[in-house]
Structure 1
Amino acid sequence: MTTTDAKRPRPGAAILRTALRRNAGAVVRGTVLMGLYQAGETAFPIALGLIVEHTMRDRSLGSLGLSIGALAVIITTVSLSWRFGMRVLQKANTTEAHRWRVRVAACGLQPVARDVGLKSGEVLTIATEDADQTSDIVEVVPLLISSLVAVAVASVALGLADIRLGLLVIVGTVAILSVLSVMSRRIGSSTREQQARVARAGAKVADLITGLRPLHGFGGNHSAFLSYRKVSSLAKHQAFVVARVNGIYAGTAQALNAVLAAAVTLTAGWLAYAGLITIGELVMAVGLAQFIMEPLKMFSEMPRYVMMARASADRMALVLDAPPLTTPGRERPAPGGDLEIDGVRHGSLDGLTFRVRAGEFVAVAAYRPRAAAELASVLGAHVPPRAYGGEVRIGGRAIADLSVEALREHLLVNPYDGEIFAGSLRTNIDPSGTSSTVAEAVEASLLTDVVALHREGLDHGVRDRGANLSGGQRQRLSLARALAADSDVLVLHDPTTAVDAVTEQLIARNIAKLRKGRTTVVITSSPALLDAADRVLVLDDGVITAEDTHRHLLASDEDYCRAVAR
C-alpha cells in the first residue's frame, strides 16, 4: 500500500460493513423473525388455496375446523414475528446511530484536530442526520432478505402448481430489480449532493448565530439574511430534485410490481381455463399475485435506502478517516516554564523571535490585530508545526516533539473569544472539577459581582454560548477559567476588551498578583495590562521592534504611545 492509499479515506462501504458486523446478532435474529413474518404472509394465500381444494373434496366440519386452526396459527405467527422482529431491528438501529454520533463527536473533540475541511455546522449534520441514515443499514438488510424469502416461497409455490407461473415470478423479479438498480444510482448521487448542501446551510446558520451581535452592531442583518437565503435555496432546489427522483423511482416500482401481479393473475386464469391447474391452485395463484406486490414493493425500495445509507456513510468517512493536522511527539518539557519563539514565520509573522523566562509576566503589544491572532494561533498549536517556519519551545523542547497531554498541561492559550458552554458558572470555570484555585480565579477576574448577584452563586445556570450574560461577563468568565487552570505557561489574548477601564485596571493587577512566579504572556493593547507586565515586547511588521517597560516606552517611543494610549 502506498502512502497516498494509506491516507485516502475509507469508503462508506467499510462503515456499513462495520455497522452490520457490530450488530450481527441482532441482524440474524431480525432476519429470522422478519423472514418468518414474510413466510407466514406468503403461506396465507397458499393455505386458502389448499383449504378450497380440500373443502371441495371433503365437506366436513372437521376439515373446516382444521382449516380455521391453520389460519389462526399463520395469523399469530405473522403478528408475533413482525412485532418482535421490528423491535429487535429498531433497537439495534437506534443503538448503532448513537454509536456513530458519539464517534463523530469524539473526532471533533480530540486534542489533535483533524484535517476535515468542513465547517462545524456540516460536522453537526454528519453527526446527526448522516449517522441516523447510515445506521438504517442494520434494518434494511434484514428487510431485504426477508422480502427475498417471500418472493422465493411464492415462486416455489406457484412453480409447484405450474412451472410457468414460478418462472414468471422469478424472471419478472429479476427484470424489476435490474431496472430499479440503475435508477437507485441516480438517487445515491442526488442524495449526496442534497446532504452536502443541507450541511452547508447548517454551517451558515451556525456562523450567523455566532456573529449575531456584531451583525446587529453594524447593521449587517439583511446582508446576512440574503447570504443564508441563497445557500438555503440551493439546498431546497436539491431537495426538490431528490424528491422528484424518489417519486419517479417509487412510481416505476409500483407500476412494474402491478404489471407482474397482473401477469401472474392472467396466466393463472388462462391455465385454469385450460384445465392445467385446479380451482384451489387458481385461488392460491390469485392470492399470491395480490400478496406478492407488498414484498416486491419492499424489495424494490430497499436499494434506495441502501444508496442513501451509503451516501451518508461516505460523508461520515470524511470526518472519521480524516488525518490529524499534526502528529504529536512523546516528550515532556523540562520544568521551569521557559517559552521561546525562534524565527517563526507564519502569515504576517516574519521571523519572530523572543524569549519569556520562567516566572516572568510579559505583554506583547501587537500593532496589527492580524499579527496578534496569528501569534496566538501558533502558540495555541492551532497551526501545525509543519505549516510555519521556525520553532516554538517550552522548557527547551519544541512543541512538535511534545505529547498532547504534556503540551496542554504546561501551556494554555486563552483566546479573546473563548467559548461559553451551557451549564453553570462553576462548570464553565472548572470543567473537570479538579481545580483548587476556583475562588482565587473568580476574585482575580472580578467575576465576584456576577456570583453575588444570584442566590445559587457559582451554581447559577448559564445558557448556551452564555446567552444570559453580558459581553463583559462572558469575557471575565472565560478569563476565570484560564486562571483556574493554573498552567505553567499562560497566554491571554485580549482578555479585557469588553470591560470598562476601571475594571480593566483592577483585573490587570489581580492577574499579575495571582500569576506571580508563573510564566504569563498577554497579547494586548490595553494600557492597564501593559503597565502591569514586567516588560513589554512591541510586535510590528512581524518582528519585535522594541522592548522595555510600558512607562519607558510611552516616554521614548511615539509610535508606541499613539498605538496604546487611550
Structure 2
Amino acid sequence: MKNPDTQRPRPGAAILRTALRRNVGAMAAGTVLMGLYQAAETAFPIALGLIVEHTMRDRGLGSLGVSIGALAVIITTVSLSWRFGMRVLQKANTTEAHRWRVRVAACGLQPVARDVDLKSGEILTIATEDADQTADIIEVVPLLISSLVAVVVAAVALSLADLRLGLLVIAGTVAILSVLAVMSRRIGASTQEQQARVARAGAKVADLIIGLRPLHGFGGNHAAFGSYREVSTDAKRQAITVARVNGAYAGTALALNAVLAAAVSLTAGWLAFEGRITVGELVMAVGLAQFIMEPLKLFSEMPKYVMIARASAERMALVLGAPPVATPGTERPGPGGALEVEDVRHGTLQGVTFTVAAGEFVAIASYQPRAAADLASVLAVNAAPGTYGGAVRIGGREIGDLSVEAVREHLLVNPYDGEVFAGTLRTNIDPSGSGRSVEAAVEASLLTDVVALHRQGLDHPVRDRGANLSGGQRQRLSLARALAADSEMLVLHDPTTAVDAVTEQLIARNVAKLRRGRTTLVITSSPALLDAADRVLVLDGGVVTAEDTHRNLLADDAAYCRAVAR
C-alpha cells in the first residue's frame, strides 16, 4: 500500500484548492443567499399545503390575507436571494478566471521559456477556455450546497407528513448521485481530451496565419489547409463524443429525477387514499415532487461541472507547473564590456569563437543561412546556455550567470523576421512610450518615407502583423524599433533583405553612424552593411574561417567574393 505522504500531489487539484481558498468569503455569501433561494422555493409548495389545510378549517377573509402575505414574502425572498446570490458568485467567478488568465499568459510570455510540450496556440486556449472553466468551481460548490439544502428541506417536510415520503426522497437522491458520479468520470476524461484537441487545432491556425504569406508564395497553402482540416476534424469527432456523453448524462439525470418525482407523487396519493395524510399534506407532497425537480437537476449536474473544472485545471497545471528551460543567474555585466563567443557548438555551429570589442561595429558573413540562424538563436538566449557547448559572455560574465533583466538591458538581438503588431507606427517602434531616440531611429532605418506618406505620420494605424505594410516597410519598422531601443549591444540578423540596393546602402551608412561608439554585430550577406563594418568575420562550415575588412576580403578571397558580390 502506498504511503499517501509520498504520493505526488495532483497539480490540478492544487489549482482548484487555491481558487476555492481565495474566494471563501464570496462563496460563503453566495452559499447563504443561494441556500435561502432554494429553501424559499421549496417552502412555496409547503406553504400551499399549509394554506389549503388551514383554509379547510377556517374560511375567513383574514386567513386568506395572511396566506397571500406569506406567499408574497416567499416570492420576494426567492427573487432577491437569487439576484444577489448569483451576482456575488459570478463576480467572484469572473475575477478568478481573470487571475488565472493573467498567470497563464505571464508564464507564456516569460523571457525564459518553460519546458512544456505545447505550442503558443495551445497556451492561448488554456489561458482563455480552461481558465474560465476552472473558475466555474467557485459557482459549482455554492450551488451544490444550496441544492442539497433544498433536498434536505423537502425531505424533512415530507417526513413530518409521513416518514416514508422523506426516506423515499433521501434514498432516491443517493441512488441518482451514485449513478451520475460514475458517468461524470467519463465526462471529465472525454472533456480533457477534447480540450487538448481543440488547443492543437488553435495552434495549427496560429501557425497558418504566421506562415500565410510564404505559403501563398510557393503554393503550399492547399497542403497546409489540408493539414489543418485533419486536426480540426479530429477535434470535431472528439466534440461529438463529448456531446454524446453529455447528452446521455443529462438524459439519465432527467429520467431519474422524473422517476423520483413520480414515485413521491404516487406514494403521497396512495397515503392520502389510505387516509394516512391529509389533503393539505397531499398538496404539499405533490407540489414538492414538482419543485424538487429543479434542485435535483442542479444537484445531479454538479459532478459533471466538477470533472470539467478539474480537467481544465490539469491542463493549466501543464503550463503553470512546468519548470523553466534554464534558471537565470543574478549577476550583472560591467558597463562597456565586450561581447565574447567562445567555442560555441549548437546546431550547425561547430566551435565558433570571436570577440566584438566595446564600441566596435562587426559584421558576420555566413555562407550557410542555417548557421546564421543558430548563432542568432544562441545570442538571443532562445537556446538556453545549458543546451549548447561553449560560452557567450557579456562584459566578462557568462550569459547563464546573468539575470534575464541584465541580458535584455545590455544585449538586444533583432531577428530577421521581427514581428509587427496591431497599433501604430509609433507604438511598434517605441512600445513602452519612453524612447528618446525614435526620430533618429526612423531616419536611420529610412522609415521616413512611410511616415511622410500618411497624414497621421507616426500615428498611422498598423494592422495585425503589418498587413497594410509591404515587406520592406515591415523590415524597416522592425529595424527602427531595434535602433530606438538604443541598447549597449545590438545584434541585427539580416536587417535589409527586403529593401532595394540603394536603400540598403543608405541604411548601412545610417546604422553605422547612429551606432558609433556602441557595440554592434550584424549577421548579413549585404555588401553595404559588410562594407560599413569595422571588420568582417566569415562563418563557413560552422566555424570562423576568415577575418578582415570587407574590401580586403573581396580582393583576396574568391569564395567570399562569390558569396557576397551582387
TM-score normalised by L of structure 1: 0.97
Partner of 1:171: 171
Deviation at 1:116, TM superposition (A): 2.4
1:258 counterpart residue number? 258
| Alignment partner of 1:284 is 2:284 | yes
Given that 1:494 and 1:523 are in contact with CA atoms closer than 8 Å, whether structure 2 keeps it comes out as: yes
- How do 1:98-247 and structure 2 match up within 5 A? 98-247=98-247
SS of corresponding position for 1:371: helix
Q: How many residues align?
A: 561
Q: CA deviation at 1:109?
A: 2.0
State the alpha-carbon separation in 2 of the partners of residues 402 and 299 from structure 1. 55
Whole-angstrom CA distance in 1 between matches of 2:400 and 2:506: 37
Partner of 1:339: 339
Cα contact 1:337–1:518 (8 A) shared by 2: no
2:93 paired residue number: 93
Alpha-carbon shift at residue 421 of structure 1 (Å)? 1.3
Residue of structure 1 equivalent to 2:77: 77
Q: Is the 8 A contact 1:44 1:71 kept in 2?
A: yes
More deviation, 14-23/389-398: 14-23
Aligned residue for 2:308?
308
Distance (Å, rounded) in 1 between the aligned partners of 2:182 and 2:313: 20
Alpha-carbon distance between aligned partners in 2 of 1:336 and 1:40, rounded to the nearest angstrom? 75
Distance 1:526 1:253 in 2: 71
Question: 2:261, 2:290 within 8 Å by CA — same for their partners in 1?
Answer: yes
| Residue of structure 2 equivalent to 1:11 | 11
What are the superposed Cα offsets for residues 429-460 of structure 1, whole Å, 9 maximum, x if unpaired?
Answer: 11122222111111100001011111111111
Single out whichever of 384-393 and 457-466 deviates more from structure 2: 457-466
Q: Is the 8 A contact 2:39 2:149 kept in 1?
A: yes
Moved more, 460-469 or 145-154: 460-469
Instruction: Work out whether residues 194 and 238 of structure 1, in 8 Å CA contact, stay in contact via their aligned partners in 2.
Output: yes
How far did residue 87 of structure 1 move? Answer: 1.3
The 8 Å contact of residues 10 and 317 in structure 1, kept in 2 or not, is answered as: no
Q: Deviations over 1:328-385 (max 9, x none)?
A: 1111111223011111111111111111111111111111111111100100111111
Residue 24 (structure 1) aligns with: 24
Query: Helix, strand or coil: the match of 1:547?
Result: strand
SS of the residue 1:336 aligns to? coil
- The answer to whether the 8 Å contact 1:429/1:481 transfers is yes
CA distance in 2, matches of 1:563, 1:155: 88
Q: 1:9 to 1:502 in 2, by over 3 A?
A: farther
> 2:9, 2:494 → 1: CA distance?
39
The equivalent residue for 2:502 is 502
- More divergent stretch after superposition (330-339 vs 405-414): 330-339
Q: What is the aligned partner in structure 1 of residue 513 from structure 2?
A: 513
CA contact (8 A) 2:130 2:313 kept: yes
* Contact 1:337 1:489 (8 Å CA) reproduced: no
Query: 2:381 maps to what in 1?
Result: 381
TM-score (norm 2): 0.97
Query: Match of 1:383, SS?
Result: coil
Native 8 Å contact 1:363 1:529 kept in 2 = yes
Distance 1:396 1:9 in 2: 43
Secondary structure (helix, strand or coil) at the match of 2:536 reads strand
Mapped to 1, the partners of 2:318 and 2:530 lie a distance apart of 45
- 1:9 to partner: Cα distance: 8.7
Q: For residues 290-332 of structure 1, what are the alpha-carbon distances to aligned partners after superposition, in whole Å with 9 as ceiling and x for unaligned?
A: 1111100010111111111111111111112221121111111
Out of 229-238 and 327-336, give the one that drifted further: 327-336
Whole-angstrom distance in 2 between the partners of 1:141 and 1:164: 30
Amino acid at match of 2:459: D
Measured in 2, the distance between the counterparts of 1:455 and 1:387 equals 49
Per mean C-alpha deviation after superposition, the further-off stretch among 243-252 and 108-117 is 108-117
Contact 1:444/1:510 (<8 A) preserved: yes
Mapped to 2, the partners of 1:42 and 1:490 lie a distance apart of 71
Tell me whether 1:56 sits opposite 2:87 in the alignment.
Answer: no
CA offsets, 1:36-91, max 9 Å, x none?
11000100111111111111112211111111111111111111111111111112
SS at match of 2:522: strand
- Greater displacement, 14-23 / 505-514: 14-23
Report % sequence identity: 84
Residue 368 (structure 1) aligns with: 368
SS at match of 2:544: strand
Q: How does 1:470-509 map to 2 (within 5 A)?
A: 470-509=470-509
What's the CA shift for 1:560? 1.5
Paired with 2:138 and 2:223, the residues of 1 have a C-alpha distance of 44
Structure 2 residues not aligned, in runs of 5+ = none
Cα distance in 2 for residues equivalent to 1:84 and 1:518: 62
1:342 maps to amino acid? E
**Is 2:140–2:302's contact at 8 Å kept on the other side of the alignment?**
yes
Task: State the alpha-carbon separation in 2 of the partners of residues 306 and 436 from structure 1.
Answer: 53
AA matched with 1:428: N
Aligned position for 2:561: 561
- 1:24, 1:9 → 2: CA distance? 22
Q: 1:529 to 1:427 in 2, by over 3 A?
A: same
- Contact 2:337 2:396 (8 Å CA) reproduced: no
| Structure 2 counterpart SS, 1:537 | strand
Q: CA RMSD in A?
A: 1.4
Distance 2:470 2:307 in 1: 48
CA offset at residue 265 of structure 1? 1.1
When residues 226 and 326 of structure 1 are mapped into structure 2, their CA distance, relative to the original with a 3 A threshold, is same
Matched AA of 1:531:
D
Shift of 1:10: 5.3
User: Which secondary structure state, in structure 2, belongs to the residue aligned with residue 365 of structure 1?
Assistant: strand
Provide the secondary structure at the position in 2 that maps to 1:275: coil
Distance 1:469 1:98 in 2: 34
1:219, 1:382 → 2: CA distance?
A: 30
Matched, 1:428 2:428: yes
Q: Is the 8 A contact 1:115 1:325 kept in 2?
A: yes
